[in-house]
A and B are shown apart, each in its own frame.
Chain A
Amino acid sequence: MKIYNTYIMTVSTVLLLGTVIMTAMHVNSLATYYTVYAAAALTITELFIYLNSQARHNLNIISVMLFAGFLVALSLQIVKILT
């Protein structure tokens, strides 16, 4: 299960580091935070090619959920620009 621990540690470090950096940069948009989180999580999941098929299947479901959330955030921004 060493690969699971490495994967979780990598995602946690990147997401929390992203939060600290964006907070320090006074980012005030929740959509920006979410987009960075989704992009980081999706990229790291793709980089861990040696995860077993069942773990990959479950993580793909999480990836779809994250991408759906990103699409919602994007459409809200588009609506905001148009109105």
Chain B
Amino acid sequence: MHNKNPYIWGGLCLLVTGAILLIPAYFVLNLTWLVALSVCLLILAFIMLALGNTVPRLSPEVCQLLLETGIDNIATIVEELGIKTKAIYLPSSLTNDTKPRALIPLHSGPGKPNILKALPQRLITRYGTAPDDIGLLLSTVGSNAIELVETMPGPTPGELEMSLTNLFRGKLGVADSASVICQNSHIEVTIQNPRIENRATWSHHCLGCPLASIVASFAAEAWNKPVAITQEEFGKKQYSMIIEVLD
């Protein structure tokens, strides 16, 4: 009984109250409005019980703990290696895996690396023919968030917008909505009312904040091309970013 969430408890309370009210209201008092009110309470009780059964057993605090542990570990690796280059988000077709990943080149060159073939699934991986073409291939928040959506979005702003809003609002509850505008090879994404705070850490500089990481992973998978976060901007009630699709 201790594992029951507030929705289940609320539903059970409404169910008992509705049942207790219904019997005297119908058989003794014969008051239509009171019977209707009891029915209304019963409907709400069933809705709350139905929703209560879908709430994850892990508390948000535990989830936050796991997320921060993962991010701290990545931050430690990135910081230790002194990497300053921005990550390139690769689609699953270029990672030999079912999910997209982020590649952080160890050496910053003048242009973005051109990745044409699938990279081996290793932490330190070679992505080109030059001796310096070595990078870290990391799994990010976005890599795992891909598995939460039922269908992958197509390479259109509408499909990406729908998929991101569905994830942020319906599944994760971390933002109200996302809007997507495409201009040539640049995708401008604006997230309304984000509820994940931005931390100015080294890993955030390389990978972007968790929401940007999710958006970049989705864009990479949707366009089936490598992408990079070129700009992030935190407003009071919105968070906007520009993602560049690399050819």
> Which A residues contact B (CB, under 8 angstroms)?
1-4, 7-8, 11-12, 15-16, 18-19, 22-23, 27-30, 33-34, 37, 41, 50-55, 58-59, 61-62, 65-66
- Check: B61 CB closer than 8 A to any chain A CB: no
Q: Find out whether the CB atom of A15 lies under 8 angstroms from the CB atom of B54.
A: no
Knowing A41-B43, A50-B165, say if A4 contacts B51 (CB, 8 Å). Answer: yes
> Which B residues contact A (CB, under 8 angstroms)?
7, 32-33, 35-37, 39-40, 43-44, 46-48, 50-51, 53-55, 150, 165-166, 169-171, 173
Q: Which of B37, B48, B50, B166 has the most CB of A within 10 A?
A: B50
Task: Report whether over half of chain B's contact residues are helix, strand or loop; otherwise say mixed.
Answer: helix
Residues of B within 8 A of A61 (CB): 50
- Smallest distance from the beta carbon of A75 to chain B beta carbons, Å? 18
Knowing A3-B169, A19-B33, A62-B46, say if A37 contacts B54 (CB, 8 Å). Answer: no
Query: In the complex, A52→B148 CA distance in Å?
Result: 10
Q: Find out whether the CB atom of A58 lies under 8 angstroms from the CB atom of B51.
A: yes
Q: Report, nearest first, the 10 A-B pairs whose CB atoms are least far apart.
A: A50-B170, A33-B36, A58-B50, A23-B33, A54-B54, A55-B54, A50-B169, A2-B173, A15-B40, A4-B51
| Nearest B residue to A54, CB-CB | B54
Q: Find out whether the CB atom of A65 lies under 8 angstroms from the CB atom of B46.
A: yes
